[in-house]
Amino acid sequence: IVAGYGDEAALTELAEKSDLLTYEFENVDQDVLARVQKRTGVLVPQGVKLLTVTSNRINEKNFLRTHGLPTTDFAKVASPAELKVAVKELGFPAILKTVSGGYDGHGQWDINSEQDVKNMLEKWPKNLLAILEKRVDFVKEISVMVSRDNCDQVKLWPITENR
């Protein structure tokens, strides 16, 4: 079944052919998944609530901070005026990202100078809800995967380096 992440008919078809559904990508539409789960009774072991955190960069950063994990400095940006304020607060370099829906560089803009701000203001996407993050110098990016089965057994997968 090939369809968009929010295609309710396709997800319903998949649910009806499956014993359970899992996801590994935060762009799955949580509202559609919740409706399909309720309507079909398909098991979704991860639940839907997790997507409300992982599918929204602001929710995700606040969740991490609430649980004592460090994040880069950030600001919500919902308008060109808010971008100007956020840049004054965070400084350069920074990166502007869509709050949801972006991945692997899509929905991201480098903000390294006043010229970058000016360029962004001139081509401001309609209805953009974004987050400005202070850029962090890092040596490498890693992924940590943790899973839990229906018996509450937790498995930590090997840490991998993203390239």
Task: Tell me the torsion sign for CA atoms 28, 135, 78, 106.
Answer: negative
Q: Which SS3 state, helix, strand or coil, does residue 160 take?
A: strand
Per residue in 130-158, pLDDT (tens digit) is: 999 999 998 999 998 888 777 889 999 99
What domains can be seen in the chain, in order of their start residue?
8-55 (no CATH), 72-134 (3.30.1490.20)
pLDDT tens track for 30-67: 999 999 999 999 999 888 888 889 889 999 999 999 99
